[in-house]
Amino acid sequence: MSHSECRHLLLSQSEVGHVSICAGCGQVHVSLQFVTLRLEPEAFRAMGQLLTEGLLRMDTLPRGAVEGVGAKPSGELH
Ligand SMILES: [Zn+2]
């Protein structure tokens, strides 16, 4: 793989990792603590939708349906 003109633009960042896109090769880098995923932009978009949908579903599970998951007590940080 030649990355002669890799130039990473930071897209988002939090305590769990960061997402950047390479202006040279166009790949999206999803960097978590122990793993980095490199995805085509369309694959990243599809993954984002997948994750968002999963998250929405998880947050609508009835409290108690899954251990530790469900409606969160408001104001609780961890
Ligand atoms: Zn690159």
Q: Token pair for residue 39?
A: 């995805």
Question: What's the gap in Å between 49 CA and the centre of ligand 1?
Answer: 24
DSSP-based three-state secondary structure for 77? coil
Report d(CA 45, CA 48) in Å as an integer: 5
pTM for this entry: 0.70
23-76 pLDDT, tens digit per residue, is: 999 999 999 999 999 999 999 999 999 999 999 999 999 888 888 776 555 555
Report d(CA 17, CA 30) in Å as an integer: 8
Question: What's the gap in Å between 61 CA and the centre of ligand 1?
Answer: 40
Which value, in Å, is the radius of gyration of the alpha carbons in the chain? 17
Q: Token pair for residue 27?
A: 């790949």
